[in-house]
């Protein structure tokens, strides 16, 4: 495993390179030439360069935007999977086993684990060293913890750029493990092609999380720790919710029969027939809503026991099936287009906000303006118009210049 540590240095240990990520430890003194060399080294497959690029991206260091822009044309090959769910569902263990299974198939893997932010450093709390135990020493598994930095959706705003770096590096699979942040976890959809939602048996919090909205983003649902009591009931509840989500509540009371789940949630095959013990697989045609078409993807409910790898192979097959469906149906291009549209809007809002903050500072700061409002010398709308005026003028002048040049 090639872990991206956060101690600010690059060392060699146990056959794997360990790269920095602490804020402020990397100085961008080399200018464009140095960044170009860094990009070239990443594209040549140098793990240290990959780790340094992700450090720049995470810290929003000078020059990171140019780096990401240069990498963009080399992206688009990696399959990106998001793994989300409430804390304690076993996401880290399952991601570790998932990476191992990909490696057993000869594929290279990049993992980004978005951790809660440390209140002291702003960095990831859990770090790299306590995870991915079964992949230690494997240079074809790159692991990096990144701080959520308070982002509502649980994903760092830098995560999408880090995925691009891993994609450009040539990783076949990129797995994103997110913070368990409930309904705001929808942000993972903007970065991942396929989203797997983990729940654990008998968790009322998980059911509430699903009802709150995370049910909408899942392509695959995984009941992890399926050797615990209540796994079968959780599978049935999930399938019932999926029926209701898709507008087909018919037969909900007999959800177990429709989904081929007996009272224990085990001992039924994917088509609903009684059968062998083991993880419950994909639902058959009985799962499909009455108004479903052949072009629809039916979210599948699987069971895993990540600690011993049970069900991981079936999960891989399901993730592959979803990727194949995305490609054959044209939905992969749709998702990518939607992702880039959201990214463009985010960047425009962020950059415009930064410009407006500078304009506020030039006018004495927002507190000074607020005092004028308090004194009834002006009002909030007038202040907003005043601050926005220079930006609006610049945009208007740019449009007029473009119109004139087009007429020549």
Model confidence over 192-222: pLDDT tens digits? 999 999 988 876 666 666 665 677 888 999 9
Name the residue with higher pLDDT: 129 or 407: 407
Residues 231 and 292 placed together within one structural domain of the fold: yes
Name the residue with higher pLDDT: 378 or 347: 378
Instruction: Detail the DSSP E strand segments found in 138-206.
Output: 141-147, 173-177, 194-199
Which of 151, 160, 163, 159 minimizes the C-alpha distance to 116? 151
Residues 235 and 201 placed together within one structural domain of the fold: yes
**pLDDT band at 377, cuts 50/70/90?**
very high
Residue 220: per-residue pLDDT: 95
Whether residue 5 has pLDDT greater than 70: no
> Mean pLDDT lowest for which of 79-88, 234-243, 258-267, 367-376?
258-267
Residues 321 and 346 placed together within one structural domain of the fold: no
Do 100 and 173 touch, CB atoms closer than 8 A? no
Residues 304 and 391 placed together within one structural domain of the fold: no
Q: Is residue 400 part of a domain?
A: yes
Residues 253 and 374 placed together within one structural domain of the fold: no
Residue 362: other Cβ atoms inside 10 A: 10
Name the residue with higher pLDDT: 176 or 405: 176
Is 360 strand, coil or helix?
A: helix
Distance CA(348)–CA(345), nearest Å, equals: 5
Q: Give DSSP secondary structure letters for 256-291.
A: HHHHT--TTS-SB-TTS-B--SS------GGGS-TT
Domains of the chain: total:
2
**Domain range for 257:** 76-152+172-329
Q: Is residue 39 part of a domain?
A: no
Residue 240: per-residue pLDDT: 86
**pLDDT band at 187, cuts 50/70/90?**
confident
Residues 261 and 398 placed together within one structural domain of the fold: no
Q: How far is CA 156 from CA 59, 95, 333, in A?
A: 11, 18, 24
Residues 205 and 276 placed together within one structural domain of the fold: yes
Q: Would you state the structure tokens that stand for residue 1, as one six-digit string?
A: 């495993």
Q: Is residue 227 part of a domain?
A: yes
Do 180 and 154 touch, CB atoms closer than 8 A? yes
Distance CA(302)–CA(304), nearest Å, equals: 7
Residues 293 and 202 placed together within one structural domain of the fold: yes
Residues 89 and 218 placed together within one structural domain of the fold: yes
Q: Is residue 159 part of a domain?
A: no
For 52-93, how does the pLDDT look when each residue is reduced to its tens digit (9 = 90+)? 999 999 888 999 999 999 999 999 999 999 998 878 888 999
Which of 178, 184, 212 minimizes the C-alpha distance to 198? 178
Residues 314 and 345 placed together within one structural domain of the fold: no
Residue 179: per-residue pLDDT: 74
Q: Would you state the structure tokens that stand for residue 256, as one six-digit string?
A: 């177990």
Residue 399: per-residue pLDDT: 65
Angle between helices 331-362 and 312-329 (to 10 degrees): 90
Distance CA(150)–CA(37), nearest Å, equals: 32
Name the residue with higher pLDDT: 150 or 401: 401
Average model confidence (pLDDT) for the chain? 77
What percentage of the chain carries pLDDT values higher than 90? 45
> Mean pLDDT lowest for which of 162-176, 252-266, 391-405?
252-266
Q: Is residue 52 part of a domain?
A: no
Name the residue with higher pLDDT: 238 or 213: 238
Q: Is residue 59 part of a domain?
A: no
Residues 299 and 341 placed together within one structural domain of the fold: no
Q: Is residue 2 part of a domain?
A: no
Q: Which of 122-126, 244-248, 284-288, 316-320 has the highest mean pLDDT?
A: 316-320
Which of 326, 97, 359 minimizes the C-alpha distance to 225? 97
End-of-domain residue from the set 284, 309, 329: 329
Distance CA(8)–CA(398), nearest Å, equals: 43
End-of-domain residue from the set 295, 312, 329: 329
Residue 358: per-residue pLDDT: 93
End-of-domain residue from the set 288, 307, 329: 329
Residue 337: per-residue pLDDT: 94
**pLDDT band at 371, cuts 50/70/90?**
very high
Residue 186: per-residue pLDDT: 67
Residues 184 and 236 placed together within one structural domain of the fold: yes
Q: Is residue 269 part of a domain?
A: yes
Here the CATH number for the domain that contains residue 237 is 3.40.50.300
Residue 395: other Cβ atoms inside 10 A: 12
Q: Would you state the structure tokens that stand for residue 265, as one six-digit string?
A: 């949630």
């Amino acid at each position: 495993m090639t872990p991206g540590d956060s101690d600010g240095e690059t060392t060699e240990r146990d056959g794997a390179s360990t790269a920095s990520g602490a804020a402020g430890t990397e100085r961008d003194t080399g200018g464009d030439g140095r960044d170009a060399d860094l990009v070239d080294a990443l594209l040549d497959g140098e793990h240290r360069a990959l780790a340094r690029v992700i450090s720049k991206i995470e810290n929003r260091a000078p020059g990171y935007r140019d780096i990401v822009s240069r990498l963009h044309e080399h992206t688009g090959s990696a399959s990106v999977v998001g793994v989300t769910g409430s804390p304690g569902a076993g996401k880290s263990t399952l991601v570790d086993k998932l990476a191992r299974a990909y490696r057993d198939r000869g594929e290279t893997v990049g993992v980004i684990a978005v951790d809660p932010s440390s209140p002291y450093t702003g960095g990831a709390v859990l770090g790299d060293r306590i995870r991915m135990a079964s992949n230690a020493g494997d240079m074809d598994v790159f692991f990096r913890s990144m701080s959520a930095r308070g982002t509502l959706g649980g994903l760092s705003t830098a995560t999408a750029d880090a995925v691009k770096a891993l994609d450009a590096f040539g990783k076949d699979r990129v797995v994103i493990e997110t913070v368990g942040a409930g309904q705001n976890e929808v942000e993972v959809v903007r970065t991942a092609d396929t989203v797997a939602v983990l729940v654990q048996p008998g968790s009322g919090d998980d059911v509430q999380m699903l009802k709150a909205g995370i049910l909408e983003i899942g392509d695959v649902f995984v009941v992890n720790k399926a050797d615990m009591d209540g796994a079968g009931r959780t599978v049935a509840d999930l399938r019932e919710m999926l029926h209701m989500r898709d507008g087909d509540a018919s037969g909900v009371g007999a959800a177990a029969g429709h989904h081929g789940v007996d009272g224990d949630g085990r001992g039924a095959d994917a088509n609903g027939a009684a059968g062998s013990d083991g993880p419950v697989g994909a639902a058959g045609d009985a799962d499909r809503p009455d108004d479903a078409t052949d072009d629809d993807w039916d979210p599948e409910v699987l069971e895993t026991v990540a600690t011993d790898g049970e069900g991981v192979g079936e999960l891989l097959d399901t993730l592959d099936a979803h990727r194949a469906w995305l490609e054959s149906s044209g939905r992969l291009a749709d998702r990518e287009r939607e992702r880039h549209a959201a990214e463009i809007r985010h960047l425009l809002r962020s950059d415009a906000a930064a410009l407006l903050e500078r304009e506020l500072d030039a006018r004495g700061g927002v507190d000074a303006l607020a005092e004028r409002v308090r004194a009834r010398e002006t009002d909030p709308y007038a202040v907003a118009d005043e601050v926005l005026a220079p930006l609006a003028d610049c945009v208007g002048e740019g449009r007029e210049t473009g119109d004139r040049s087009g007429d020549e």
